[in-house]
Each structure stands twice: as C-alpha cells, then as structure tokens.
Amino acid sequence: MAEGSLNGGKGNGIEWLPWSKPAFDRAQQEDKPVLLSISAVWCYWCRVMEETTYVDEDVVSLVNNNFVPVLVENDHRPDVNARYNVGGWPTTAFLTPHGGYIAGATYLAPDQLLAMLLEVQRAYAEDKPGLYDQAAQLQRQRQDYVNRVAAGPELTHRQVDLIARRMTGAYDARCGGFGEEPKFPSAPILQFLLHLLRTTGEDFYRAMLVKTLDGIIAGELYDAVDGGFFRYCAQADWTEAQHEKMLEDNINLARVFLDAGLLLDNGEYQRVAAQTIDYLRFVLYDAGAGGFSGSQGAHSEYFGRSGEDRRGQAAPAPDSFCYTNWTCQAVSLLLEAAWKLPCPELNDLALGILDRIAGDADRGRLPHAFDRAGQPSPQLTVAGDLLCDWAALLNALVDAYNCCPGRPDYLQRATAAAAELERRFYDAGKGGFFDTELDPEAVGYLRVREKPLQDNVLAAQALLKLYQATQDSQYQLRAENVLSAFVEANRDYGEHAAGFAAAIDYFLHPPVEITIEGTPGAVDTQALVGAAARLDYPNLIIKPAITETEPGRGAALAHVCLDTVCFPPVSQPAALAESVAEALEGRESPVENIFERFAGF
C-alpha cells in the first residue's frame, strides 16, 4: 500500500508509509519509534482495527505526531511478516528507528492502543539504550538460529521415521486432524500421511487419513456451496469456521483430496478435489492478470448463510493482487489434475499462465505480488526477488516439461531458473537457500537472511526433479546439501516438518518413471492412472502422454523406466505393479515400518 491512510487518504487518518529505507531514515532523523502494522486483505480483525482503532482521533494524533507509522500487507511482504509477526493478524509492533523490536501485540481496541503508544513513548524517552540493547540481542538470536541451519549430517530413513512419530503424536483421534483448537487442516501434514499410507499400506495411517478427510468434508471447513476451504475452524470438531479462503490452502487441499481419491478409490474425495479446482479457476483466477488472487476475504455475512440464502447474493471479491509463488503452485496442481481427474483443458490453462510468468523470469525479475495490469505491488520497495517465487517457478517448469515432452523449452527455462536460484539465494558457506537476495540497504531484521524450511524443501524437490530430467548430478548434490542443512533445525518445526520428511524419502530412492499413454478419460487409461497412483514406491514420477487413440491402436499403455533402463510396456493395472517390482528387483527395500520397530507404539 502506498503512502497514505488506510481510511481515505493522507490527512484523513494515519499517515502510513511503506516498509522502506526512507521510512526508517525519517524515523532516525526525527528520533521517533516506528509503529509497524502488518495487515492482510483477508483478515477480519485487520478490517475492524482499520475501521475503529485507526480512525480514533486520539490515536491518529498520537501516532502522527510521535511515531513513524509503517504499514505492511502480509501477503505482499512475507519477508517482513516472517521477522516481525507477533502471533497473528493484525500485528501491531513497535520498533526502534533502526528496525529493532521493542514490543508488540495483535488486535488492539482504541483504548488499548492508546495505552501501548504512551508506554512505548515513555520507554523510548527514558531508556533508549536499553531498548536498543534488547533489539540487538534479538537480532543476534535470529542470526544464531540461521547459522544453525548448516549442511553436513547424512540423510537417513531414521529422520523420516522420527517426523512420522511426531505427526502421529499430534493426531487428534477424536475429531481427526492434528493439534487442538483452533483446528487448521494442515495440508502438508496430510500429504505426508498420504505418502506414508501409500508406501507402507499401514491401516493405522489409513484410519488417520480417512477420519480427517471425512471430518473436514462433514464439518464447516469445507464450503459445499461455492467450493473451496476456509482457513481454519475455531473448534476441534471442524465447526465455527473462520470465513476466509486462502489460495495456498486450497491448492494443497485440492491435491490431498485428488491423491486420496485415487489411492483409496473414493469418488467423493475426487468430487471435492474437482470442485476445489473449479473454485480456484472460476473464483480466484484473474485472467486479466494471468495469475491467481491470493485469497477471498472473511465475510461471515455471506459465507455464514445457507446454500439457498446465498443464491442471488454477491460473493465477496477476491484479493485484487496475484502472487507469483502461489500461482506457480497452482500451475503444478492444474498440470497434475489435468490427467488425474481427467480434465485436459486444465493443461492449456496451466501452460498459458506459466508462459507469462516464465516471460518475467526471462527478463530477470519475478515480482512477488502483481495487479491486473501486471504491475508489481507498490509495497515491493526492495530491488531483490524472493526465494519462494523462484523455487515455485522452477518446480512448475519441471512439471510442465514432464507433462509436455514436445516442449523442450520448459527444460531449458528450468535449468536457467535453477542457475538463478543458486546465484541469488544459495548459502555457499553453510548450505541451504536464503529467503531474500542480499540487500546492502536492508533495514532491521531483514539484514538477517533467513532460511525457511518450506521454501527450501520445495527448492530441493524441484532440483531432484530437474536431476531426473537432465541426469546432471549437480542438481542431485545441491538438493542433498539443502536437505542436509535442516537435519537438526527441522526439530523446531515439530509435525510441520512433514514435507521435509517426504523430500528425504524421495531423495533416498532412485526415481521410477512411469509414462501413461492413452485416451483422456478412457476406462483403460484411468485404470492405469489409478494403478500408478497406488504403487507403494516412495519416488514415482508419473508422466502423461495422453493422446487421442488412433483407430486400431489398441489399449492404453504404461511404460516403466528406472535410471536409464526401460521395460516393455504393459496394458493391465496388475502388470504395472509387476513391472515396477521387476525394475526394482535386487534392490534392498529401505522402507522401515515404524510399527514393527516400536512395538506397542
């Protein structure tokens, strides 16, 4: 958001500035603390605070006269949010003029904010050196944590098992899902659970998965009317949904239900996946921008209505900005759903979006947030790009190459994206990728370049796919280095290190490549698709070669390759499993059943 007010323009409220060096230069020149508000377009309480607290005359006067107010839109600046969020949205944080943390809270009513403003003002006047010492100590702690993320330890199956046990310990046996209230769907954990069920066949994992997915559908998290999922539920039994829909959550949950439908041969899960993908492409997709809106905001007055009551009512408008990383993740989902549902038109939509974003990358920039005109958000005041965008683009490019063998340009662009990832974000000293580019003018805690686990896992997975596509071992070695850097640090994430565990399992098994050739939607083609999706090998790369069957051509075929060795094609689902087993014959199975090792667990 540009300089001005949340509520009608400069002079009619708080005189907000974007996060930028000039804002902090001003704070230093005027010797005033900074009031940092981290808001979100989808956040209900952010809107309440904007319409009540930040229009209070006493608040406006005190802030404008004694603080330098900085406004950050969470989705536009995930780098700022990662360093200053104090536990939710809105975040209300107070900083030194150099960006060090003083104090913070979330939502504050007018009288609460007034009290906090006066307390911070007093503390800054009376103990400025003490506040700076505290801020410097917090920055050293952040840097020390980043230094702990260092490559070295060997990747083993033991690490996968440890995270599986963490996940199991967090499972809610009464209502399904993980953790207590408020209950989030935790799609990456569910994806890991699917991976464990497919590779081990353990009934315990099946029960956990089915109870959770059935609970989500039956509860209030799932919007059976308009499609899609809300962000979380206030109650552990999946009731009292918070009525905001996030693009990333819906991408991940669509993939969970898509894969669960194939693995468990469950038509209802497949229907939910298809409806969620329809929600993404008909509600959140912005054709003018060529990307996906990040969210649809919390409007209980609409989403709280029954299906009949909603008819004829105007639905809440999606976010007016699109986001590169989530749009690239949506591209990967659409490419996958095109042959798993099947719905071939999703393929063309995905490639059209990807070609536009890849064009930005060809010009050397990936703006994280962009509007319908393709213009970057005015909040993107720094020169550098973000790891999350380049990692997601690399992953989408390799996925597109695997789905479109006639487009070698996707592989060329993927290798170029991998080179940019290395040049801009790689930590050559300790391993892993930083979340931001090096910026000599970075302010406050942005001087500490952090290494988020989720983005590093996505980058590592993309590099492993690129290795399989090129057979260039440098990509495999770099992926190993990235994952190794989190062998110790992943413990801080608890069960939310699930994606890291799955990535290790992929790395430890040479990929088995399965190409399915047949008519889209044909019974024999979909039978082979389902059989491939149910194979118990941890690292499967399933490539569609879906073409209209020529007269007399015969049944759909599946081709199995391991390394550089390919086996005769098969047309029967049972024969596909046998072909994979033949390819793997002689290899010792590295899959460990934790329920055998830990009796009575």
The answer to whether the 21-148 and 181-320 domains have the same CATH topology is: no
pLDDT exceeds cutoff 50 at 596: no
How would residue 550 be classed by pLDDT, with cut points 50, 70 and 90?
Answer: low
Indicate the pTM of the whole model.
0.94
Give pLDDT tens digits for 234-266: 999 999 999 999 999 999 999 999 999 999 999
In the prediction, which pLDDT does 305 show? 85
Where in the chain are the domains? 21-148, 181-320, 514-594
- For the domain covering 21-148, report its CATH number: 3.40.30.10
User: Stretch 15-24: mean pLDDT, rounded?
Assistant: 96
Residue range 43-65, pLDDT digits in tens: 999 999 999 999 999 999 999 99
Tell me the CATH number for domain 181-320: 1.50.10.20
CA separation for the pair 70, 36 (Å, rounded): 5
Using alpha carbons, select from 225, 220, 131, 217 the residue that is nearest to residue 181: 220
- CA atoms of 539 and 527, how far apart (whole Å): 20
pLDDT of residue 383: 64
| pLDDT tens track for 265-309 | 999 999 999 999 999 999 999 999 999 999 998 887 899 887 777
SS3 433: strand
When pLDDT is averaged across residues 76-91 and rounded to a whole number, the result is: 97
Q: In a 10 Å sphere around its CB, with 0-12 CB exposed, 13-18 middle and 19+ buried, how is residue 157 labelled?
A: middle
Half-sphere exposure at residue 246, Cβ-oriented, CA atoms within 13 angstroms: 17
482-495 pLDDT, tens digit per residue, is 999 999 999 999 99
Of residues 600 and 360, more confidently modeled: 360
Does residue 364 register a pLDDT over 80?
Answer: yes
Class of 514-594 in CATH: alpha beta
Q: What are the pLDDT digits (tens) for 404-454?
A: 888 999 999 999 999 999 999 999 999 999 999 999 999 999 999 999 999
Q: Does residue 496 surpass a pLDDT of 70?
A: yes
% the chain with pLDDT above 90 = 86
Q: In this structure, what DSSP letter does residue 4 have?
A: B
Residue with the larger pLDDT of the pair 1 and 233 = 233
Q: What does the mean pLDDT of the chain come to?
A: 92
CA–CA distance, 140 with 396 (Å, rounded to integer) = 36
pLDDT tier for residue 594 given thresholds of 50, 70 and 90: very low
Instruction: Please name the helix (run of DSSP H) or strand (run of DSSP E) that holds residue 91, with its range, or none.
Output: strand 91-95
Omega of the bond leading into 342 within 30 degrees of 0 (cis): yes
